[in-house]
Amino acid sequence: MRAGWLSPRRPLRNYLPHRCAAHEEHVEPVWDECGLVIDGSVAAETPAQQIWSAIAGNQLLHKFVQRLFNGSGSGVDGSGVVLPAR
C-alpha cells in the first residue's frame, strides 16, 4: 500500500469543490425565500427553540406537527416520521 493512501487530501480535494458547487446550485437560489435560517455553530438548544417558536407561529405547520405527534407527545406518526419531544 502506498504511504499517501490514507491521506484525506485527495478525498477532500474532490469533495469540497463538489459541495461548494451543489450549495451554489441548490441553496443560494432559495436563501432569500427561507422563513427560518438556523445557525449550526451554536448550542443545540438555541436552534431548537428557534424551530419550535417558528412552528408555534405558523398555524398550518403547527397543525401538521400536532398531527405528527398524534396528541401523544411521542413524536412518531404512522408514517414513521420522528420529531424530538419538545
Mean pLDDT of 65-84: 56
Q: In what helix (H) or strand (E) does residue 61 lie, and over which residues does it extend?
A: helix 59-69
3-state SS assignment for residue 37? coil
Nearest-angstrom CA–CA distance, 45 and 84: 12
Burial of 84 (0-12, 13-18, 19+ CB in 10 A): exposed
Residue 67's pLDDT band, with cuts at 50, 70 and 90, is confident
Mean pLDDT of 25-39: 82
Q: What pLDDT sits at residue 70?
A: 66
Q: Is the pLDDT of residue 25 over 50?
A: yes
Q: Which of 84, 64, 62 is nearest to 74 (CA)?
A: 84
Residue 76's pLDDT band, with cuts at 50, 70 and 90, is very low
Residue 71's pLDDT band, with cuts at 50, 70 and 90, is low
CA distances for 8 relative to 1, 16, 52, 83, angstroms: 15, 12, 38, 34
